Amino acid sequence: MRIYATYNIKGGVGKTTTAVNLAHLAAADGLRTVLWDLDPQGAASFMFRVKPRVKGGGKALVRGKRSLDDAVKGTDFDNLDLIPADFTYRTMDLLLNESEAAKPARQILSLLAPLATEYDAAFLDCPPGISLLSENVLHAADVVLIPLIPTTLSVRTLDQLTEFIAEFNSRRPDVLSFFSMVDRRKRLHREITDNIFAERQGVAHTVIPALSVIERMSVERSPVTVFAPRSSAARAYRSLWAELRSHGE
Amino acid sequence: MPPGLAGFVASGDEYAWDDEVAAVLGQLGQTFALVPERTGAPGTPHQRRTWFDTFDWRLYRAGLLLEYVPARRGGELLLAPVGDPHQSLARQPVASWRLTTPHPVADIPDGPLASRVSSVIFPRALLPVVTVAGTTSVTRLLNADGKTVARLAVETPAVMSADRPRLPPRLAITGIRGYPGQARRAARIVAQAPGIQPASDTVLADALAAGGRRPGDYSNKVDAPVKEAMPATEAIAVILLRLLDTIEVNVDGVIRDIDTEFLHDLRVSVRRTRAALKLLGDALIAATAVTADELDRFTADFKWLGDLTTPTRDLDVHLLEFGDMVAGLAAARPEDLEPFRSFLQRRRLRASRALARGLRSPRFGALTAEWRKTLLAVRDAGSIGPRGGIPDRSGTTRELAADRTSRAFRRVARQGGAITPTSPHESLHDLRKRCKELRYALEFFAPLHDPAAYGKVVGDLKRLQDCLGQFQDSEVQIAEIRALAEAMLAADAAPAVTLLAMGEITSGIAARQAAARADFERRFAAFAGADGQRRMAALLRGGTT
């Protein structure tokens, strides 16, 4: 099972829309896929019309009273399952900290381990911020997908994150960042996106444009690749998925 | 995988089916929002599937269904348990799979499906059983959030035969992971809809029923419908008619050379017929219009038929056991035996052509036609009663069964008891024949016996027969391999290494023969010793020990 995490310290950069669309594309490619909505806001769960509730909450999962497998819900799409968000995930940091695990930063990885035979791909949709949860996610992931909005500050947080990962003693995930919510009409957006390919490695060539059809996902409650499969947004996500699949090969 | 699957079928009159399905949708619509599924998967909306099995239903009897489903490129073989046809045990894409001709196991590409199927059916071929085509429409059942919580699939199949009979629509509720309660609720609603019943039979069974057949409707067992109080002559006719049916139903498979077991079953039925004539023929002569001359003529004709089939079967046995022979080689290499295999195959081809000519001959046609006419006359006279319902002179079936079976048993006990370690081989070969006669006598009248007592007696007898069979067959095989070696030499088709390897094989067979001989006393005592005699007596009295 290959684990992908969509993550950024900043919020509102397109993590959830990316996780939802890429997970759908992975499933449509025939990969048995599961998406874990780790964000207590439950946006990914909402888009798949699944109630953001896990029996026993985050506590039962972290303490091993309920297996992750029990929490899985089938989506409306073949090969694609969801582990819903739960409002108790807002205290996930606390729960991870309180547990008596030998390696507190690797608890999410061990929770995912039993799913490895059942799924080919797992997507983790993380809440923003730097926390023990995000550290857990970075340790669990094979590839961390970082959506960037084309601003100087956003690029700076990418540097911070890359340095943070570089300090890992053990296995480090691959980092693939990509521009999200890009408006080519804005000069700054054009400049930053054009320059970054020259300056940094590990940036996807695909750019996800700022489009209202992506915003409509929360109205349609469906991946854009489903309700507008021929839109330029869906094309962009398909291209990003193709880059992601070939990444690291 | 979808959990909580529940299957239903519409019932009653064909004209009511569509209304019954509409009523189900109406009922479900009161609890769920219903949305037709966009069926993107190829083959889903217009399904065509063909079941394959051996002529004697080996897969079905092993609890397996093998389905071929065509796809855009090639198609797929699907293996499922009989009890749960939606569960996939194995699947295998196949490039060119014919729907009208038999397939030997070798036609299935290597993989889990091929190994599972071949272990069950070998050496039989797969034959198309029936083809069903139909449409499947899927409706998604949504909760208040618009989330799919279950699916209803409605399949409307029809048999792909000349008159294309429609089969009752099948409804299935499939659950979505994490929503088991909703699937159960939907299944309850479907179950309560008028005219809808839980599906107890497979689509295959429905399709066969439309043509007056049922799964598993062929077996080479005697299975004659005899009853205790039936006039004995009628029972004899019923048994012999059943054997004649088995002979006739296998002829086509033998002529087309579909697999070796058509000939095997045909031969067994011929042998049983000859044994029945020997064991029971006098009762026919005494109590019916059949004369001794007529019966002698039929006896001679069935001997001709048996002899006609022998050369091909003997070569079949060599070829079927070839793999084991090769595996048992210690000194010789497997390829050393290849000239022997080619020689056997060429001979078999010649023999099977001669056999096919015999089965197409007027003599064979006349034999089966006249035999059937004779037996029908005996049966119908028996069931009416030759003299206005008064039981005929041959007595009842129970009396006949007890008399002939005990006579056959006494012969086995007497001949076997006289065998000592120094007895000539022929005495064991003769005993084998007597055992076969006894076995057939037991099988002819099997419905009259207590099943448990019958099972024990036949089990012991079978083990004795296996021992005697191993002993005699080994001797025959050694003689045949020697004769074949001579023939290969004469035809200049025998490299020295091949002859050496054949020699090695004969020594292996000789060792098995010696082992069988050493086992004989124990097997015979188990069957015909004091306990065995008590068991047989109890069986024939109609009880158990």
Query: Tell me, what amino acid is at B13?
Result: D
What is the per-residue pLDDT for A248?
63
C-beta of residue A35 within 8 angstroms of C-beta of residue A23: yes
Bridge partner list, B10: B196
B120-to-B19, B56, B60, B256 alpha-carbon distances in Å:
42, 12, 10, 22
* Residue partners of B263: CB distance under 8 A and separation at least 6: B250, B254, B309, B312, B313, B316, B355
Would you place residue B387 in the very low, low, confident or very high pLDDT band (cuts 50, 70, 90)? very low
Query: pLDDT value at position A247?
Result: 78
Taking the Cβ of residue A72 and every Cβ of chain B, the question of whether any pair is shorter than 8 Å is answered with yes
Tell me, what's the pLDDT at B394? 64
Q: How crowded is the C-beta side of B506, counted as CA atoms within 13 Å?
A: 17
Q: What is the distance between the alpha carbons of residues B86 and B109, in angstroms, rounded to a whole number? A: 23
- Structural domain that includes position A214: 2-246
CATH architecture of B6-210: Beta Barrel (2.40)
SS3 content of chain B, % helix, strand, coil (to 5): 60, 15, 25
The domain total for chain A is 1
Nearest CA in chain A to B142: A76
* Residue B303 Cα distances to A178, B190, B270, B314, B465, angstroms: 86, 61, 8, 16, 22
Confidence category of residue B316, pLDDT binned at 50, 70, 90: very high
CB contact under 8 A, A74 and B145: no
What pLDDT does A225 receive?
96
Question: How far is it, in rounded angstroms, from Cα B134 to Cα B468?
Answer: 54
Chain A residue numbers touching B146 (CB-CB < 8 A): 49, 221
Q: Residue B303 has what pLDDT?
A: 97
Please check whether residue A30 touches B, CB under 8 A: no
Q: Where are the alpha helices (DSSP H) in B491-541?
A: 496-528, 530-541
Confidence of residue B187 (pLDDT cuts 50, 70, 90): very high
Contacts of B176 in chain A (CB under 8 A): 73-74
| Segment B289-310 mean pLDDT | 95
Q: Kindly identify which residue of chain A lies nearest to residue B179, measuring between CA atoms.
A: A73
3-state secondary structure of B158: strand
A94 contacts A125 by C-beta, under 8 angstroms: no
Instruction: Tell me how far apart the terminal alpha carbons of chain A are, to the nearest angstrom.
Output: 15
Q: What is the mean pLDDT of residues A212-235?
A: 96
Residues of B in contact with A71 (CB under 8 A): 178
Q: Are the beta carbons of A50 and B147 separated by less than 8 Å?
A: yes
**A103 vs B183 pLDDT, higher one:** B183
Give the percent of chain B with pLDDT over 90.
Answer: 70
Q: What is the pLDDT of residue A246?
A: 86
Q: What per-residue confidence (pLDDT) applies to A126?
A: 94
The CATH number covering residue A175 comes to 3.40.50.300
Query: Two tokens at B533?
Result: 């005699």
pLDDT at B331 over 90: no
DSSP state of B103: B
Residue pLDDT, tens place only, B26-66? 999 999 999 998 765 544 556 788 999 999 999 999 999 99
Per the CB < 8 A criterion, the answer to whether A160 and A9 are in contact is: yes
**Mean pLDDT value of segment A134-159:** 90
pLDDT at res. B389: 45
Q: How confident is the model at residue B385 (pLDDT cuts 50, 70, 90)?
A: very low
Place domain B232-541 in its CATH homologous superfamily: CHAD domain (1.40.20.10)
A249 pLDDT band, cuts 50/70/90, is: low
For residue B316, which amino acid is it? D
Over residues A136-163, mean pLDDT:
90
Structure tokens of B380? 């119908």
3-state secondary structure string, A71-107? HCEECCCCCEEEECCCHHHHHHHHHHHHCCCCCHHHH
DSSP string spanning A4-28?
EEE--SSSSSSHHHHHHHHHHHHHH
Cα four-point dihedral sign B313, B319, B325, B329: positive
The model's confidence at residue B4, banded by pLDDT at 50, 70 and 90, is very low
What ranges do the domains of chain B cover?
Answer: 6-210, 232-541
Per-residue pLDDT at B390 exceeds 50: no
Q: Give the separation between CA A178 and CA A241, rounded to whole angstroms.
A: 11
Of A182-196, B242-256, B260-274, B310-324, the least confident: A182-196
Q: What is the mean pLDDT of residues B170-176?
A: 91
Average pLDDT over residues B370-397: 72
B346 pLDDT exceeds 50? yes
Nearest Cα neighbor of A172 from A140, A202, A201, A147 is: A140
Task: Note the pLDDT of residue B43.
Answer: 43
Q: What is the torsional sign of CA B451, B452, B453, B454? A: positive
One-letter identity of residue B116:
R
When CB atoms are compared, the residue of B147, B177, B178 closest to A49 is B147
- Please compute the mean of the pLDDT values over residues A221-228 and round it to a whole number: 96
Q: CB pairs below 8 Å between A and B: how many?
A: 27
Kindly tell me the sign of the dihedral angle through the C-alpha atoms of B478, B481, B486, B487: positive
Inter-residue contact B349 to B317 (CB < 8 Å)? no
The top-scoring range by mean pLDDT among A127-131, B230-234, B295-299 is B295-299
Amino acid at B247: I
pLDDT digits (tens, 9 = 90+) for A112-126: 999 999 999 999 999
Summarised one tens digit per residue, pLDDT across range A201-212 is 888 999 999 999
Measured CA to CA, the distance from residue B330 to residue A37 in angstroms comes to: 64
Going by their DSSP bridges, the two strands A2-6 and A33-37 should be labelled as unpaired
pLDDT at residue B261 greater than cutoff 60: yes
Q: How high is the pLDDT of residue A196? A: 84
CB contact under 8 A, B178 and A73: yes
Whether the CB of A50 is below 8 Å from some CB of chain B: the reply is yes
Answer yes or no: do A74 and B176 touch at CB < 8 A: yes
Rounded CA separation B309/B257 (Å)? 13
CB contact under 8 A, A49 and B146: yes
Q: Does A37 touch chain B (CB under 8 A)?
A: no
Give the least confident one: B20-34, B277-291, B402-416, B443-457: B277-291
Tokens of B493: 């088709």
- Which of B140, B146, B177 minimises the CB distance to A73? B177
Length reported for chain A: 249
Q: Angle formed by the axes of helices B451-490 and B496-528, to 10°?
A: 160
Q: Side chain identity at B498, as an amino acid letter?
A: T
Name the residue facing A72 among B140, B146, B178 (closest C-beta): B178
Q: Does residue A102 or residue B5 have the better pLDDT?
A: A102
DSSP string of B218-251?
--SS------TTSBHHHHHHHHHHHHHHHHHHHH
Which pLDDT band holds residue B388 (cuts at 50, 70, 90)?
A: very low
Rounded Cα gap, residues A83 and B207, in angstroms: 42
DSSP codes joined into one string, B325-388: HHHT-SSS-GGGGHHHHHHHHHHHHHHHHHHHHHHHSHHHHHHHHHHHHHHHHHHHHHHH-TBT
Question: Is residue B356 classed exposed, middle or buried when 0-12, 13-18 and 19+ CB atoms within 10 A define those classes?
Answer: middle
Residue in A with minimal Cα distance to B37: A76
